[in-house]
Structure 1
Amino acid sequence: MRSTMVVRGSAAIVAVAAVAAVSACSTGASSGGGRTHGPSATSSTPTSGAKALTGGTAGSTSAQDCRQVTVTVGEPLPSDRTQSRVALTMVNSGATDCVLRGFPGVRLGGADGRTWDLSRTDDPVVPLTLAPGTAATSYLTYLPTTDASGWEVSSLQVTPPNTTDTQAFVWTLGNVVLQDGATHPGTYVGAAVAQAG
């Protein structure tokens, strides 16, 4: 099924990567806890999972790391929870095998100009060897709302693990509950995993 998101023009992507790149951390540590994320816990301590203008951690120097990665955003997946989720598919668009490991950096942008760098789960990091044209998946879990006080999200930026190649999309999935100061927000991103099937 075709992505619900639309990639912005290449000039915009270059500008985003240069000015507001979202990090793609290769560690398994989460700044906001793991599977205990939920809509009810809040805190005054920000739990930003991304660091601006970086692409990975200082220890990530492997020549095998995937550097040419194309991101696509899927349709919302069926869920019986209050949260929804979408797959962020990351394809090795290079000419040789490479290893994808860790978390993509993910940033939501609001119509009000505010941005939110999402927290990460504490899922283990598993190195994934990708042949050219093959893919891995990271799941973006988000807490939607139809309440009038919901945050109007207009953009999504994704930076593949251990790169600074931020790729920009138009957010078409409606308003979310803004919890950028929560210790366990209902919106977060998981580590890259092998693609099902």
Structure 2
Amino acid sequence: MGTVIMHNVVSVDGFIADENDDVGPLHDWYFSGDTPITEDDDQRYDHSAVGSRFKVSRASAEYVRPMWETIGVIVMGRTLFDLVNGWEGQPPAGEHVVVVSHRPKPEGWYPEASYHFVDDVRAAIDKAQELAGERTVSVNAGDVGGQILAAGLVDEVAMDVVPVVFGSGKRYFGGIDGQHLLEDPHVVIRGDRVLHLKFEVRR
């Protein structure tokens, strides 16, 4: 099975958005560089929600590109799904999405899109690994991501740390209880206005 990676852009004080789900400057680095995430005219990583193609620093591109190319499935919560309308049925990476939700897929919503709605985090990871095969399962941080980490189902934590302090808002690890040890970072890459970190979860 592929690696399960919990991933998100985050402020230095650990928030992925403010109380109103506004990400503020957290994603600015995705559009402030001169290097497309893809080396050619591949449009897979266009960000249709804002009508602009991802362009980052060269250091960030060399990190983000291979990571995104390994993703087979994204696991997300219903709040994010509703906020971005499921990226209109076209995830930014991977071919499949698993949504953790007690509500079903909206009736008539992009029936051709490979989006699967489940009501339990363990079932979500089982479904994601079934769909991903040997490819990576990328778990969005937040409440659902924190639940998946607390359940012992996350292999690595990846953080794109942006130099901004939010003070309050939606936490990277959601409302997770207790301590969870990570190993020393095995990836530390400095981009422009972002620091890429990756940690293995200590078992």
TM range (shorter): under 0.3
TM-score calculated relative to the size of structure 1: 0.24
| Higher percent of residues as helix | 2
